[in-house]
């Protein structure tokens, strides 16, 4: 799996799909890990699944132009402590078990996973959570690249919409000018 700078949208999609597949596999492993409390494992599984499912890549014309991340993540209330809830950022929806947060560049998810990593003991549990954080970080990089590629494609389309008609108009003006010079000279 290559992450070259020159890679276009067609190269990023398979890489992102592979990272998502690995992340969901790790989420399942975390949920079934005997070294992790079942509530914590299920909560982490739910967050990882939610982050993958609630990722928004493009959207409206403005969202494509700004290349801003409007992704969200559903966080179990048990994982929300003072450092997470006091943070700037919108909390979108809430229910008795979960709260929906903005997940700009996967930062909210990474922050909560790092808090959970600090609380875990046991090599297997720590290794699984470190793998999850690794894939969430790679996912953030790929999503950022994909948004940038989409933005550049939009700018190119807008430029062509402006440039081509303007070029023909200038060419017609040039031909009219040359013709008028030969006629009136």
Per-residue pLDDT at 2 exceeds 90: no
Q: When comparing pLDDT for 113 and 79, which is higher?
A: 113
Read off the tokens for 131: 């793998």
d(CA 1, CA 135): 13
Q: What pLDDT is recorded for position 57?
A: 85
pLDDT tens-digit map of 171-182: 999 999 999 999
Please state whether the predicted TM-score (pTM) of the whole model is above 0.95: no
Nearest to 37 by CA among 76, 74, 87, 94: 76
Q: Determine the Cα–Cα distance for residues 151 and 77; give it in Å rounded to an integer.
A: 35
pLDDT band per the 50, 70, 90 thresholds, residue 93: low
Lowest mean pLDDT among 73-77, 79-83, 159-163: 79-83
Spatial separation of the C-alpha atoms in residues 67 and 59, rounded to whole Å: 10
Residue 127 reports pLDDT greater than 50: yes
**Residue 106 contacts residue 16 (beta carbons within 8 Å):** no
21-67 pLDDT, tens digit per residue, is 999 999 999 998 888 888 888 999 999 999 999 988 888 888 888 88
Backbone φ and ψ for 109, nearest 5 degrees, come out as: -65, -45
Checking if the pLDDT of 4 tops 50, the result is no
Write down the pLDDT at residue 94. 61
Confidence of residue 87 (pLDDT cuts 50, 70, 90): low
Lowest mean pLDDT, pick from 47-51, 80-84, 136-140, 159-163: 80-84
């Amino acid at each position: 799996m290559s992450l070259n700078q020159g890679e276009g949208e067609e190269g990023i999609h398979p890489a992102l799909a592979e990272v998502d597949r690995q992340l969901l596999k790790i989420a399942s492993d975390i949920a079934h890990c005997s070294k992790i409390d079942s509530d914590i494992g299920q909560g982490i599984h739910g967050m990882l699944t939610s982050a993958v499912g609630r990722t928004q890549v493009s959207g409206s014309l403005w969202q494509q132009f700004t290349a801003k991340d409007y992704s969200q993540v559903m966080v179990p209330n048990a994982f929300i402590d003072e450092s997470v809830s006091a943070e700037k950022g919108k909390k979108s929806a809430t229910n008795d078990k979960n709260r929906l947060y903005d997940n700009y560049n996967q930062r909210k998810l990474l922050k909560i996973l790092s808090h959970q990593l600090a609380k875990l003991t046991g090599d297997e549990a720590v290794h699984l959570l470190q793998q999850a954080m690794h894939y969430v970080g790679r996912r953030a990089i790929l999503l950022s690249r994909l948004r940038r590629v989409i933005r550049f494609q939009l700018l190119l389309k807008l430029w062509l919409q402006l440039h081509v008609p303007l070029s023909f108009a200038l060419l017609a003006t040039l031909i009219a000018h040359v013709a008028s010079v030969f006629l009136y000279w």
